[in-house]
Structure 1
Amino acid sequence: MTTARVWFITGASRGLGRAFTEAALDAGDRVVAAARNVEPLEDLADKHQDRLVRLPLDVADRNAVFAAVDKAVAAFGRLDVVVNNAGGFLYGMVEEATEDQIRAHLDVNFFGAVWVSQAVVPHLRAQGGGRILQVTSMGSGGGMATVGFYCAGKAALDSVGEALAMEVESFGVKVTIVQMGGYNTGLFTAGTTATTPHPDYEPLRRKMEEMWGDEAGPDPSTAAPVVMELAALPDPPRRLIVGSASYDVVHEMGKAQAELYHEWEHLSRMAPG
């Protein structure tokens, strides 16, 4: 008989976090679901009374994160899978974004995941293993107009995730950077902060909006089986793109970047470093 795992999931009240929470509970696992507002999880709490703990949490608050992780460990005795999923979206051009908007965005999307990672590692190390899934984005490999700060936060988390994976591997802790494709999570509506548009960027803004299109993307529940299988792998990958269409896009982006480097190789090689 397989022992039920304990999950700690941030941003668990909607979108991908909600889908991962439901999938883990349906698999017979136990979940500590953290979110700023945990009321949307009331139906799951009623259905899984003994296996779901809801924790109100703003991941931007480092002290609150450490306290929440201690509560999570106390609730079920251990943590097996940690999913850094909480995040928001800052939409607008680089020039348009205010300092407060940029800092608030990175406080959640980057620093929040760092605080969770710092808080859980001592527990995972002490118990001799565990999984950390850093939820980033298919767009973390490069910036793009109107979503530069979102991509920047996810790219920073990619880099920290790679470093963390090397640092904790000897303790039996596995880290995977989960580069999500576009899913209908509500991120671009309820989770969005928009800049005040500058008229000079209006043509580019319209062009980008046409490129994004109106399609909301697949339901988050369609991504959950991938994450469940990933969490069960004895030797998981350091990085994983989630989404068939997204895989193709990222693959093409990688090829284009390699071609660009090759085109200017002669200039790169002029310097000896």
Structure 2
Amino acid sequence: MSKTIFITGTSKGFGRIWTETFLEQGYKVAATARNLDTLQDLIHTYGEAILPIELDVNDRDACFKAVEKANEYFGSIDVIINNAGYGLFGAIEETTEKEARDQIETNVFGLLWVTQAVIPIMRKQGYGHIIQVSSVLGVVSPPVLGLYNASKFAVEAISESLSAEVKGFGISVTIVEPNSFGTEWSGTSAVHTEANPVYDEIKKAFFESFTEDSIGIPEATKNAILKLVNSPMPPLRMILGKVAYPWIKQTYEQRLAVWDEWKEISAEAHGK
């Protein structure tokens, strides 16, 4: 069955790959990007099936107008995919106020504005699926990406609460948690802090931990995303890639072990 999908950040990476995949399947797609020139080939190929929308997700009013435009054009929105975002690389101490605020503005507030805009539409329809692109780094938090990790932890919390709030309206929520993939996320799309040499060794060790086999192939996610948007009972969380699951499992085992070690002191602090 054909679906209508609204997706942000479609100029490159997952957004571009998934947009083209949906169009190939005969879906209707509202595709947002800061620069619509990046979508011209898709517009030429798929015509009225794609609605290109120029959008900076940091602009709340523009997010609401974009969602409304898509709803008016297609008559409904079945799925919304909050994909827009970028990575900020650098140690916590190195991060400027502007870099920190910009990271949270785009990755958290941009997602929040689009989500808020679509909820009334889906509630009125009585159905819908909100897909939030998070990261394995929304569950585990290695060094060098602290502010990015924080933004994805926030996406996880917002989306988990949202899931409980909108379930009764027939709206599903899924948090997609990719591990590292060979997109522009860590390349041309990334922002880097001004380096402090005291963190050189930590950064070196971090980047050397990524082997060729640990970095996924973006195009290989096509089947997974199609299965997700077509699932009658979509999961709250879905991992993309083979590295994320063992990393998350190990992290939670370590957390549980520490919490268990301190549980008597923790209980004592309750006071009664």
Regions of 4+ moved over 6 Å:
none
Q: Deviations over 1:164-214 (max 9, x none)?
A: 111111111100111112111101111111101112222222222222356
Q: Deviations over 1:43-87 (max 9, x none)?
A: 111111120111111101101111111111111111001000000
| Residue in 2 that maps onto 1:63 | 61
How big is the shift at 1:216? 8.1
How big is the shift at 1:267? 2.7
How big is the shift at 1:215? 6.6
The structure-2 alpha-carbon separation of the partners of 1:198 and 1:14, relative to structure 1 and needing over 3 Å to count, comes to: same
| Residue in 1 that maps onto 2:155 | 157
| Residue in 1 that maps onto 2:127 | 129
Q: Deviations over 1:149-175 (max 9, x none)?
A: 111000101000011111111111100
| Residue in 2 that maps onto 1:78 | 76
SS in 2 for 1:187: helix
Aligned residues: 271
How big is the shift at 1:36? 1.0
The RMSD of aligned alpha carbons is 1.5
C-alpha distance in structure 1 between counterparts of 2:46 and 2:93, whole Å: 47
C-alpha distance in structure 2 between counterparts of 1:254 and 1:223, whole Å: 25
SS in 2 for 1:13: coil
Q: Which of 15, 19, 22 pairs up with 2:20?
A: 22
C-alpha distance in structure 2 between counterparts of 1:142 and 1:220, whole Å: 21
Q: Which moved more, 1:183-192 or 1:81-90?
A: 183-192
The structure-2 alpha-carbon separation of the partners of 1:144 and 1:257, relative to structure 1 and needing over 3 Å to count, comes to: same
Letter in 2 for 1:265: K
| Residue in 2 that maps onto 1:250 | 248
C-alpha distance in structure 2 between counterparts of 1:39 and 1:254, whole Å: 44
SS in 2 for 1:7: strand
C-alpha distance in structure 2 between counterparts of 1:52 and 1:91, whole Å: 34
Identity %: 36
How big is the shift at 1:219? 2.5
Q: Which moved more, 1:205-214 or 1:71-80?
A: 205-214
After TM superposition, list the pairs within 5 Å mapping 1:1-273 onto structure 2.
2=1, 4-213=2-211, 217-272=215-270
The structure-2 alpha-carbon separation of the partners of 1:214 and 1:96, relative to structure 1 and needing over 3 Å to count, comes to: farther
Letter in 2 for 1:114: L
Q: Deviations over 1:4-35 (max 9, x none)?
A: 11000001111101111111111110000001
Is the CA contact (8 Å cut-off) linking 1:184 and 1:216 kept in structure 2?
A: no
Letter in 2 for 1:111: F
C-alpha distance in structure 2 between counterparts of 1:94 and 1:113, whole Å: 23
SS in 2 for 1:244: coil
How big is the shift at 1:141? 1.3
